[in-house]
């Protein structure tokens, strides 16, 4: 009987894993315990980050939708790797290890400083991986043009946003502006405060020391969103240097399920923009060199009516709730992923 059960489970996994596109799969038939990813050796930073990215339905759909453009190109390896990790959630542990090993081996070909068994920084890993995906967009745009369709890089479509920094001399009124592009928003940890306040404090006008051509040394500095992303990723600065020593800041930061950005801080918005929290990557531990990364994410494997969340700790996966995440991750949350409510329509692989 046990042999038959094992055979049936193996057959089920094979049938699922051989599917080309998993977006239509009934994820309810997959046991929660099968959604974890094994730790190869201190790769919890990779596992937690990937689980967070896999909760982003718009990002995953963008990759699938434009598969005809990237699937046969050398630089498509990044997209293929992520979808392979997604598919391997339906497979057994050995297949997962093989997929994760291929993922890391391909990643370290571009970033050799990650070619070790040390625990690395999750935000740094994610930034480098996303930037690598974006580097190939010029090639994909040419391929799409030859196919008479449009290509929009999933990284740009989901994560990219522009910030305007305006500096005004407090004596002569001379102004200068700089526009910078980001895919992650970094916020300084301010203990016993809220993420909303940290964000708004960073946007609020302040006086800075800056020498103007008129000779005056004080100016006002403002920051605005020139554009807003569909996915706003906020990194809390948990790791920093104090007295020439690397330390971790475990200050408690309150956050909620909804993040609201007032229209006055946005160049092209007439009303406030709201985001919903969908995943959190946390670093558990007090050391800058050791500890453990976990991910809490909305359970996209169930129907949209379900409000349950899952906690991913490598191979261990358990159900949780948004209320518990908000309560338990105040001092460990490192990356917070918010999806924009009522996202504006974006051009998707239409004919040209």
- DSSP letters for 144-182: HHHTTB----HHHHHT-EEEEEEEEETTT--EEEEEEEE
User: What are the structure tokens assigned to 165, written together?
Assistant: 């920094």
Is CATH 3.90.70.10 the classification given to domain 33-340? Answer: yes
How far apart CA 133 and CA 255 sit, in angstroms, is 30
Task: Please write the tens of the pLDDT for every residue from 126-174.
Answer: 999 999 999 989 999 999 999 999 999 999 999 999 999 999 999 999 9
For 123, phi then psi, to 5°, come to: -60, -40
Task: Please write the tens of the pLDDT for every residue from 55-90.
Answer: 999 999 999 999 999 988 877 888 998 999 998 877
**pLDDT value at position 77?**
84
- Count Cβ atoms below 10 Å from residue 188 Cβ, excluding itself: 12
């Amino acid at each position: 009987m046990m042999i038959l059960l094992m055979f049936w489970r193996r057959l089920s996994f094979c049938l699922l894993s051989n599917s080309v596109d998993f977006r239509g799969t009934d994820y309810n038939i997959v046991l929660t315990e099968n959604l974890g990813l094994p730790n190869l050796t201190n790769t919890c930073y990779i596992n937690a980050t990937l689980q967070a990215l896999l909760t982003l339905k718009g990002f995953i759909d963008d990759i699938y939708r434009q598969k005809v453009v990237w699937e046969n190109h050398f630089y498509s390896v990044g997209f293929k790797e992520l979808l392979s990790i997604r598919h391997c959630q339906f497979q057994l542990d050995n297949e997962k290890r093989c997929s994760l090993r291929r993922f890391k081996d391909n990643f370290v070909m571009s970033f050799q400083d990650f070619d070790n068994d040390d625990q690395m920084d999750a935000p740094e890993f994610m930034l480098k991986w996303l930037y690598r995906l974006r580097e190939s967009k010029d090639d994909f745009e040419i391929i799409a043009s030859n196919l008479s369709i449009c290509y929009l890089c999933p990284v740009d479509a989901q994560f990219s946003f522009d910030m305007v920094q305006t500096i005004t001399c407090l004596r002569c009124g001379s102004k200068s502006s700089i526009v910078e592009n980001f895919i992650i928003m970094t916020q300084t940890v301010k203990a016993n405060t809220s993420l909303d306040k940290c964000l708004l404090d960073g946007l609020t006008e302040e006086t800075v020391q800056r020498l103007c051509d008129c000779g005056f040394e004080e100016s006002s500095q403002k920051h605005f969103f020139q554009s807003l992303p569909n996915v706003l990723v906020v990194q809390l600065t948990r790791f920093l240097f104090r007295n020439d020593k690397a330390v971790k800041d475990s200050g408690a930061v309150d956050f909620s399920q909804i993040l609201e950005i007032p229209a006055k801080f946005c160049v092209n918005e007439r009303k406030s923009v709201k985001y919903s929290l969908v995943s959190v990557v946390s670093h558990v531990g007090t050391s800058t060199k050791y500890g453990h990364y976990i991910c809490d994410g909305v359970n996209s494997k169930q129907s949209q009516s379900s409000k349950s969340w899952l906690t991913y700790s490598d191979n261990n996966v358990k159900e949780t709730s948004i209320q518990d995440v908000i309560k338990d991750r105040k001092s460990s949350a490192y990356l917070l992923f918010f999806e924009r409510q009522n996202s504006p329509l974006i051009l998707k692989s239409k004919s040209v």
